[in-house]
């Protein structure tokens, strides 16, 4: 990996820290620690970008940093307006870094508009007095204010710099530091008048060298110190403001004045911001290596299952030590597997952070002010899941702002706050990851949805639909409620694409809506894509696996609890409810071996079709299985989500209960038709 790559990876972290800091600033108000953290992030990006000659990033980061510095110095108070500018600036900085990374052109108009916003905060009181004063409250005592005004805020510093030998041996280069300084203003460098020994005696460590620098700059002393950040402790350094009056301000287009702390009040500052919370040590690992490890661990689990089976076949006495060891082996294998999966697991936080930008942008584009509230950002999800969720989530968030929230006047009329709230939550629940996107808008307009579906011929006109069924029409391909195609959500992507993306991750999506209160989309995802817990069952002589997460309970039926409707429709009476029975063998086109009442029922819940009972021949075992996708090699197969390899080396198919419930309860089965004809109320109850 090149140093450049490393820099951009670090940038990602820094940008994340930046967004984090801004969010914290927003929630907990002005805290010098947080401001420092934000400043540090921007400053580090600037520093790194400078090293790679990324001028666009450097100049923007510099302006950003300068405003942040004013906040840090207490010259500026953070208010809502400034925060918005900060958010925009951080978005812009992200764009610039990305453009630099991908070597694409930058959007100068967007950048310039943000720069202009930033400039209003730069405290150029001479020129933009009226402009800046109504926007900010200055906490600066008047005594400090006046010199800043009339001396036009350029400071001159004298820097004495004498590197130690260690500075050179660590690979630092004074000229780079000087270059960095020279970017801040006018720099004069002179080698100190130190006697340089004869050539023969010359020590190549450069120990004898010392410099005196004079810098005229808008930047504060702290910023000067930062230039020496990397050589700190490796040199004698003295920075002091010169007391002579500063030059009158020449206007330099790109440079932006920062009010200078009056020279007289300044002692050389110690770097108070130098004690960040120690970050956790992390290791960057090539993803391929992790995946290879995960594959191998998958094999280990299969191998463990095989050994267990072989030992079982030996029929050893129950007291045998081997059985204990085997149990330990199983636990260890599981530990390793969990540990390895944890490497791939990442908090959803970066994903959520991206979404706050989406909300901001969508809010601006639609003229509906909106904020994003997130909870459960620490929830860890497989990296692949996070990556593949980004697009669907973006789409859902845009939708929530564009279609979910009402227009501002409607909101006010409904007694709601002007600013809409989009809520994004993540949580672990019983082996699944639950993501929710909700808005506090007007809820789904069911009449309109139904009408649109009818207009587009997506539903037959004579069909009576329940409210949840109408809501689910949103997921149909080719459905879009937006009357006019807005450039925001109308990008040819419908909710069906979202649903497919979620389904491809082994998850499900559902929708609930309260008129006047808002709409909630719930995504249920498996924790990991590679391994899952399942029941090993048999269906028509074939061994199969049912994901445990989908099973509510298992039932040994009693004959009198099975009721027939029509010719093939069968219902299971369960605590005063009737649940449709789906014969899995029949559903999969296999020959059922058993009479229905000899079978075992697995009660599963499906998102689209409520609860139903799957009839299978037997349940053998509960175990962890390694999921092997069939999609790439066999295409998608109705009713089967994937396959796994059992202890005996045989392949077992993993049932897609959602799909079986769907096909079993409607399309392919006569049963359902009969059911709906005879007892529509019963079906609805499910």
Binding site for other proteins (CB under 8 A): 298-299, 302, 542, 588-590, 628, 630, 632-640, 643, 645, 649-653
Q: 76 or 660, CB closer to other proteins?
A: 660
662 and 612 Cβ atoms separated by less than 8 Å: no
- How far apart CA 44 and CA 48 sit, in angstroms, is 6
Q: 77 or 590, CB closer to other proteins?
A: 590
Q: 173 or 541, CB closer to other proteins?
A: 541
Q: 216 or 542, CB closer to other proteins?
A: 542
441-455: b (≥16 Cβ within 10 Å) or e: bbbbebeebbebbee
The torsion of the CA quartet 98, 104, 110, 116, rounded to 10 degrees, works out to 80
Q: Classify residue 403 by its DSSP letter.
A: I
**72: nearest Cα among 129, 117, 21, 27:** 21
- How far apart CA 584 and CA 664 sit, in angstroms, is 8
**Long-range contacts from 493-497, C-beta under 8 angstroms, 24+ separation:** 493/395, 495/395, 495/396, 495/399, 497/392, 497/395
Residue 675 CB, nearest distance to other proteins (Å)?
23
Q: 284 or 631, CB closer to other proteins?
A: 631
Token pair belonging to 390: 């980004």
Q: 324 or 648, CB closer to other proteins?
A: 648
Q: 234 or 637, CB closer to other proteins?
A: 637
Distances (CA, A) of 249 to 64, 124, 216, 217, 244: 21, 11, 11, 11, 15
Angle formed by the axes of helices 108-119 and 80-102, to 10°? Answer: 150
Residue 635 CB, nearest distance to other proteins (Å)?
3
The dihedrals phi and psi of 601, each to the nearest 5 degrees, come to: -105, 135
Residue 647 CB, nearest distance to other proteins (Å)?
12
Q: Classify residue 203 by its DSSP letter.
A: -
Residue 324 CB, nearest distance to other proteins (Å)?
28
Residue matched to tokens 């972290």: 13
Residue 302 CB, nearest distance to other proteins (Å)?
7
Angle formed by the axes of helices 495-504 and 383-399, to 10°? Answer: 160
Angle formed by the axes of helices 321-344 and 287-314, to 10°? Answer: 160
Residue 506 CB, nearest distance to other proteins (Å)?
16
**624: nearest Cα among 539, 486, 528:** 528
The alpha carbon of residue 94 and the mean position of all alpha carbons in its chain are separated, in whole angstroms, by 15
Residue 121 CB, nearest distance to other proteins (Å)?
54
72: enclosing H helix or E strand: helix 55-72
Residue 544 CB, nearest distance to other proteins (Å)?
9
- How far apart CA 51 and CA 227 sit, in angstroms, is 12
Residue 645 CB, nearest distance to other proteins (Å)?
5
Q: 268 or 649, CB closer to other proteins?
A: 649
Residue 280 CB, nearest distance to other proteins (Å)?
35
Residue 626 CB, nearest distance to other proteins (Å)?
9
Classify the C-alpha dihedral 605-606-611-614 as positive or negative: negative
Q: Classify residue 489 by its DSSP letter.
A: T
Token pair belonging to 190: 């002179």
- How far apart CA 155 and CA 241 sit, in angstroms, is 7
Residue 593 CB, nearest distance to other proteins (Å)?
15
Q: 397 or 585, CB closer to other proteins?
A: 585
Q: 164 or 628, CB closer to other proteins?
A: 628
Q: 50 or 639, CB closer to other proteins?
A: 639
Residue 654 CB, nearest distance to other proteins (Å)?
11
Q: 430 or 633, CB closer to other proteins?
A: 633
Question: Is residue 19 helix, strand or coil?
Answer: helix
Residue 651 CB, nearest distance to other proteins (Å)?
4
For 475, residues 6+ apart whose C-beta sits below 8 A from its C-beta are 495, 496, 498, 499, 509, 511
Rg over CA atoms, the chain: 33
**Residue 382 pairs with which residues in a beta bridge?**
345
641 and 656 Cβ atoms separated by less than 8 Å: yes
The alpha carbon of residue 450 and the mean position of all alpha carbons in its chain are separated, in whole angstroms, by 34
Residue 678 CB, nearest distance to other proteins (Å)?
28
DSSP assignment of 594-623: S-GGGSEEEEEEETTTEEEEEEESEEEEEE
Q: 290 or 637, CB closer to other proteins?
A: 637
Q: 310 or 650, CB closer to other proteins?
A: 650
Q: 243 or 632, CB closer to other proteins?
A: 632
Question: Is residue 571 helix, strand or coil?
Answer: strand
Residue matched to tokens 């006697």: 195
Q: What is the bridge-based pairing of β-strands 600-606 and 551-555?
A: antiparallel
């Amino acid at each position: 990996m090149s140093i450049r790559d490393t820099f951009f990876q670090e940038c990602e972290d820094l940008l994340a820290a930046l967004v984090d800091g801004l969010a914290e600033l927003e929630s907990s108000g002005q805290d010098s620690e947080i401001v420092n953290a934000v400043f540090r992030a921007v400053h580090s990006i600037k520093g790194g970008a400078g090293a790679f000659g990324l001028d666009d990033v450097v100049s923007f980061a510099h302006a950003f940093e300068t405003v942040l510095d004013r906040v840090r110095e207490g010259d500026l108070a953070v208010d809502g307006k400034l925060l918005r500018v900060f958010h925009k600036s951080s978005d812009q900085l992200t764009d610039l870094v990305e453009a630099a990374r991908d070597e694409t052109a930058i959007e100068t108009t967007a950048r310039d508009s943000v720069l202009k916003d930033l400039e209003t905060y730069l405290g150029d009181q001479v020129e933009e007095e009226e402009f800046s004063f109504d926007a900010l409250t200055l906490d600066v005592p008047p005594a400090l204010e006046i010199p800043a005004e009339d001396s036009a805020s350029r400071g001159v510093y004298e820097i004495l710099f004498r590197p130690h030998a260690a500075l050179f041996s660590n690979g630092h280069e004074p000229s780079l530091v000087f270059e960095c300084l020279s970017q801040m203003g006018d720099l004069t460098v002179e080698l100190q008048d130190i006697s340089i020994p004869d050539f023969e005696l010359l020590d190549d460590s450069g120990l004898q060298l010392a410099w005196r620098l004079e810098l005229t700059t808008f930047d504060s002393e702290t910023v000067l110190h930062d230039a020496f950040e990397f050589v700190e402790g490796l040199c004698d350094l003295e920075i002091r403001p010169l007391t002579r009056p500063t030059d009158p301000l020449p206007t330099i287009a790109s440079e932006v004045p920062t009010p200078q702390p009056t020279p007289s009040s300044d002692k050389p500052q110690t770097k108070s911001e130098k004690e960040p919370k120690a970050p956790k040590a992390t290791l960057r690992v090539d993803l391929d290596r992790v995946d290879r490890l995960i594959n191998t661990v998958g094999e280990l689990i299969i191998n463990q299952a095989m050994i267990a089976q072989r030992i079982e076949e030996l029929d050893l006495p129950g007291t045998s030590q081997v059985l204990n060891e085997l149990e330990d082996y199983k636990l260890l294998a599981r530990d390793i597997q969990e540990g390895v999966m944890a490497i791939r697991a990442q908090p959803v936080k970066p994903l959520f952070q991206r979404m706050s930008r989406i909300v901001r942008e969508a809010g601006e584009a639609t003229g509906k002010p909106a904020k994003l509230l997130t909870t459960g950002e620490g929830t860890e999800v497989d990296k692949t899941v996070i990556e593949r969720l980004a697009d669907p989530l973006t789409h859902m968030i845009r939708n929530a702002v564009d279609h979910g929230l009402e227009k501002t006047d409607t909101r006010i009329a409904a007694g709601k706050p002007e600013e809409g709230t989009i809520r994004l939550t993540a949580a672990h629940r019983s082996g699944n990851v639950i993501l929710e996107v909700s808005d506090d808008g007007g809820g789904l307009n069911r009449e309109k949805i139904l009408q649109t579906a009818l207009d587009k011929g997506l539903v037959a006109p004579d069909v009576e639909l329940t409210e949840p069924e109408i809501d689910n029409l949103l997921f149909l391909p080719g459905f879009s409620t937006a009357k006019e195609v807005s450039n925001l959500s109308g990008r040819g992507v419908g909710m069906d694409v979202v649903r497919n993306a979620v389904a491809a991750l082994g998850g499900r999506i559902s929708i609930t809506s309260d008129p006047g209160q808002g709409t909630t989309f719930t995504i249920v995802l498996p924790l990991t894509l590679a391994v899952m817990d399942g029941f090993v069952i048999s269906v028509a002589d074939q061994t199969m696996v049912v994901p445990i997460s989908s099973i509510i309970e298992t039932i040994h039926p009693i004959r009198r609890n099975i009721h027939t409707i029509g010719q093939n429709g069968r219902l299971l009476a369960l605590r005063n409810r009737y649940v449709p029975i789906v014969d899995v063998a029949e559903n999969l086109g296999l020959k059922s071996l058993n009479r229905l009442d000899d079978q075992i029922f697995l009660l599963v819940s499906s998102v689209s079709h409520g609860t139903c009972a799957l009839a299978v021949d037997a349940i053998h075992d509960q175990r962890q299985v390694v999921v092997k996708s069939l999609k790439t090699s066999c295409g998608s197969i109705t009713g089967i989500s994937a396959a796994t390899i059992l202890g005996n080396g045989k392949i077992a198919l993993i049932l897609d209960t959602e799909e079986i419930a769907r096909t079993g309860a409607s399309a392919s089965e006569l049963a359902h038709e009969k059911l709906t004809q005879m007892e529509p109320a019963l079906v609805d109850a499910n």
